[in-house]
Amino acid sequence: METTAPDVTDMPSQPEEVLDSKVVRGGLQYLVKWKDKPRSENTWEKRSNLVKPYKPLLDTFHAQNPTAPRMPTIVIAPRSRRLQLTDPDERQWEYWKGRWDRWRGRCRQD
């Protein structure tokens, strides 16, 4: 079974603005105000329906509402075996030292 992204023509009309966002069952939804429609016809739309064709609207909404729910940005750091802590407290130091020792022990067994 082939799945495709929803077509923009499936939308009731063009979105005018994004009013709110919420997380529903792990997915992000946006409350959309449609052009030429009264506010009573605002609808909650899945992020996947809006992200490609209307990304500037989403960016504007999040710039105006920085605390509104959004998809997290994940940055993958390059793999490194070197760990650097800036001003670690004692508890952090013990935690990372223990992890390092366990990792080194597994490497030595190989």
Read off the pLDDT of residues 70-97 as tens digits, 9 standing for 90 and up.
877 655 566 655 555 555 556 666 777 7
In this prediction, residues 30-49 reach a mean pLDDT of 92
pTM above 0.75, yes or no: no
* CATH code of the domain made up of 8-64: 2.40.50.40
- Does pLDDT of 3 surpass 50? no
The type of residue at 90 is E
| Closest among 11, 74, 82 to 46, alpha carbons compared | 11
- Does pLDDT of 51 surpass 90? no
The dihedrals phi and psi of 108, each to the nearest 5 degrees, come to: -70, -25
Domain boundaries of the chain, sorted by first residue: 8-64
